[in-house]
Chains A and B, each alone.
Chain A
């Protein structure tokens, strides 16, 4: 059994988190076990666990934000907000999932909120990924090359609903299992799997119709 150091003066919420851990709910397989240990053992200042969290997951979370929002400026803001929120709530991390799953649950919420706010404000969506990319239409009879596939895929993903796009990115870009995705999205694994499986042929049709190419 993992023996945890006693927790300092972080209030009732933190005591509850410790009890959860002692009860054995912390996943010992968490690759971020060392950060979790740091959260448990640090009295007051959670700057160090935050630094480690940013160092280890900052880039992955940023890529998720960029592909979800398709807007560099908005993604930058949301990305920072996610880690500020993670720092705020870190003391209450109860170990019921891995730290990475917990972080992406925050990321998903913030990204969906940002997308909703943007829709409400009818803001302009920056299509910065298309600026220097090739014409998606291949020469007649050619097989679609990777660059054109990428460009068409980005455009077709943008046309999916937020929740479908989230599932696709969590599954493929971030490599989550459907079980972990279920924690991130608060949905059933089977629901998410079905959503991903349904989206793949939709993407294929979209890509082929946009490019008039053969995948």
Chain B
């Protein structure tokens, strides 16, 4: 190939190689998507749980889908200064998490900031059971974003290693059904 053309091609490959997006751009995108997302308050969560309970009581005609319910229990004043608090929780609140339905045994993995494994159910002290459901009662002891993952699989899953991305990718590749919820603790 013509050396001049080869130089041009090489220069084209290097175009913008040292250019980086402006700081904070990801945060701005997320803020925009959150502003556009339909707001669903915490008060809808118990309704989901109630509906799930009815579904659980009825004789199943087919395998039910995996359901993940998260209910926040406020310890202390329910409304601080009249603040409805939107979708966020505070340090000291509790989360009552229930995973039911799905094919195969259920598990709950809870991460803080995607890197710290807070609970693995069954197994952790916070875990419990109600019928075929797996539950966890989590005290929110630190600020951060808590990601609650419910999984079910007909094949054994590798235990989580503490990296949210890696753990979920592995579970997904193993054929697990996954549900996730996030709670910001501010």
Q: How far is the CB of B107 from the nearest CB of chain A, in Å?
A: 14
| B9 with A41: CB separation less than 8 A | no
Question: Is A16 part of the contact surface with B, judged by Cβ < 8 Å?
Answer: no
Q: Is the CB of B168 within 8 A of A38?
A: yes
B29 and A54 contacting across the interface, CB-CB below 8 Å:
yes
Residue interface bits B11-35, CB-to-A below 8 A is 1, else 0: 1111111011110011011101110
B165 CB to nearest chain A CB (Å): 7
- C-alpha spacing A8/B175, complex, angstroms: 16
Inter-chain CA distance A168–B29, complex, in Å, is 28
| Those of A1-56 within 8 Å (CB) of chain B | 3, 5-6, 8, 33-34, 37-38, 41-43, 45, 47-48, 50-52, 54-55
Cβ of B116 within 8 Å of any chain A Cβ, yes or no, is: no
Does B173 have its Cβ within 8 Å of any Cβ on chain A?
yes
Q: Among A47, A168, A175, A204, which residue has the most Cβ atoms of chain B within 10 A?
A: A47
Interface contacts (Cβ under 8 Å), in number, total 131
Q: Are A38 and B172 in contact (CB under 8 A)?
A: yes
B5 interfacial by beta-carbon distance below 8 Å: yes
Q: Which one, B14, B29, B169, contacts A80 given CB within 8 A?
A: B29
Quick check: A207 and B32 within 8 Å, CB to CB? no
Q: Is the CB of A67 within 8 A of B21?
A: no
- The A40-86 residues at the B interface (CB cut-off 8 A) are 41-43, 45, 47-48, 50-52, 54-55, 58-59, 62-64, 66-67, 76, 79-80, 83-84
Whether A204 and B5, one on each chain, are in contact in the complex, defined by CB atoms closer than 8 angstroms, is yes
Q: Chain A residues near B169: list those with CB within 8 A.
A: 33-34, 37
User: When the two chains form the complex, which single residue of B8, B20, B32, B180 contacts A200, counting CB atoms closer than 8 Å?
Assistant: B8
Name the B residues within 8 Å of A168 (CB-CB): 12
Q: How many Å lie between the Cα of A203 and that of B4 in the bound state?
A: 10
At the interface, yes or no: A141 with Cβ under 8 Å from chain B? no
Q: A52 CA to B12 CA in the complex, in Å?
A: 27
Tell me whether A58 and B182 are in contact in the complex, defined as CB-CB below 8 angstroms, given that A52-B165, A153-B12, A173-B16 are known contacts.
Answer: no
Residue contact B30 to A51, C-beta cutoff 8 Å: yes
Evaluate whether A6 and B177 lie within 8 angstroms (CB atoms) in the complex, with A41-B172, A62-B19, A80-B29 already known.
yes
The answer for the CA separation of A50 and B30 in the assembled complex, in Å, is: 8
> Binary interface profile of B, 26-61, with partner A (CB < 8 Å = 1, else 0)?
101110111011000000000000000000000000
Give Cα A50 to B15, complex, Å.
26
The answer, yes or no, to whether A150 is at the interface (CB within 8 Å) is: yes
Q: Does A87 sit within 8 A of B, measured CB to CB?
A: yes
Given known pairs A47-B30, A54-B26, A203-B8, the reply for A66 and B179 (CB within 8 Å) is no
What are 8 pairs between A and B in contact, CB < 8 Å? A8-B179, A41-B168, A50-B30, A51-B26, A66-B19, A87-B29, A169-B12, A215-B7
Q: Which residues of A contact B (CB under 8 A)?
A: 3, 5-6, 8, 33-34, 37-38, 41-43, 45, 47-48, 50-52, 54-55, 58-59, 62-64, 66-67, 76, 79-80, 83-84, 87-88, 146, 149-150, 153-154, 157, 168-169, 171-173, 175, 200-201, 203-204, 207-208, 215
Interface set of B (CB-CB < 8 Å, partner A): 3-5, 7-9, 11-17, 19-22, 25-26, 28-30, 32-34, 36-37, 65-66, 68, 147, 165, 168-169, 172-173, 175-182
